[in-house]
Amino acid sequence: MTDKQRSELQENIVKLYLRLNGYISTSLIIHSEEKRISAEIDTISIRFPYHSQDETEHNSSDFLEVPSNIDVIIGEVKSHKQQLQFNKALRQDNLISLTKILKWIGLFKEDQIKAIATDLLGLVTPIENSKKKEFTNLLIDTDFGKISLRPILFSPETNSKKTNSDKFVGWEEIDDFLWKCLCPENIREYCGIRYDFTAWGSDYSEIVKVYKNRQPSQTRFKNMEELYAEITSLRKS
């Protein structure tokens, strides 16, 4: 598996985790005046307050601290060897990238953008020796009610229990929640658990299939390396 394939799988498993938590997600590229890409956002994810999926018999993860209002996550996916901080491209262009992100999201008025971008810059700028136990959050009044804007780091290759950093979403949290959603111990009353997994689409079908393949034995993945290996085997079969 190439580095690019591994990176794509990391981003897809994060987006699947967010989807199962009730978020609609997309990636985003930021264009510059020099006619090049100045920044890439791995995921912008939004969850609405009346979201419900009772038929699947699971709720959103408590770890994710989902608020009761509209929630927008600006997410960055980091590999194990990368620092757990947002890329410099978001922080070193005089708010240009952050401003374009906020305008693209489309929930904030023009006269709010600069102040929100300035506050958001403070949240994505790393602080030495910071060990925050909760995700940072901007709560903004809009025409659509209060909106939470949260920059969150995801690192599927990293132990979630790492203590020398701010809170992030790592392997144990992602795997625990995906297993709970995809591999329930008991048959669900209103929701099937065995079906054509290609219905998940090209981004998620392989991930769902390898989880479902392990469901009968209830053998969990220890880490992303095991998931990479099983997906590689699946592709060769």
11-15, 39-43, 110-114: least confidently modelled range: 39-43
C-alpha 192/C-alpha 187 separation (Å) is 8
Q: What is the dihedral of CA 92, 153, 182, 61, to 10 degrees?
A: -130
Q: Confirm if 98 and 64 have CB atoms less than 8 A apart.
A: no
Predicted local confidence at residue 9, as pLDDT? 96
pLDDT tens digit string along 86-114?
998 888 888 999 999 999 999 999 999 99
Query: Residue 68's pLDDT band (boundaries 50, 70, 90)?
Result: very high
What per-residue string of b and e applies to 107-130 under the rule 16 or more CB within 10 Å gives b? bbeeeebeebbeebbebbeeeeee
What percentage of the chain reaches a pLDDT higher than 90? 67
In this predicted structure, the answer to whether residue 53 has a pLDDT above a threshold of 90 is no
Predicted local confidence at residue 128, as pLDDT? 85
Predicted local confidence at residue 129, as pLDDT? 82
What token pair was written down for 148? 């939470």
Q: Whole-prediction pTM value?
A: 0.93
Compute the mean pLDDT over every residue in the chain, rounded to the nearest whole number. Answer: 90
Predicted local confidence at residue 102, as pLDDT? 97
Predicted local confidence at residue 17, as pLDDT? 98
pLDDT tens digit string along 208-220?
999 999 988 888 9
In this predicted structure, the answer to whether residue 190 has a pLDDT above a threshold of 70 is no
What percentage of the chain reaches a pLDDT higher than 70? 95
pLDDT tens digit string along 144-181?
999 999 999 999 999 877 667 899 999 999 999 999 99
Strand-strand pairing, 70-77 and 138-142: unpaired
Beta bridge partners of 148: 71, 139
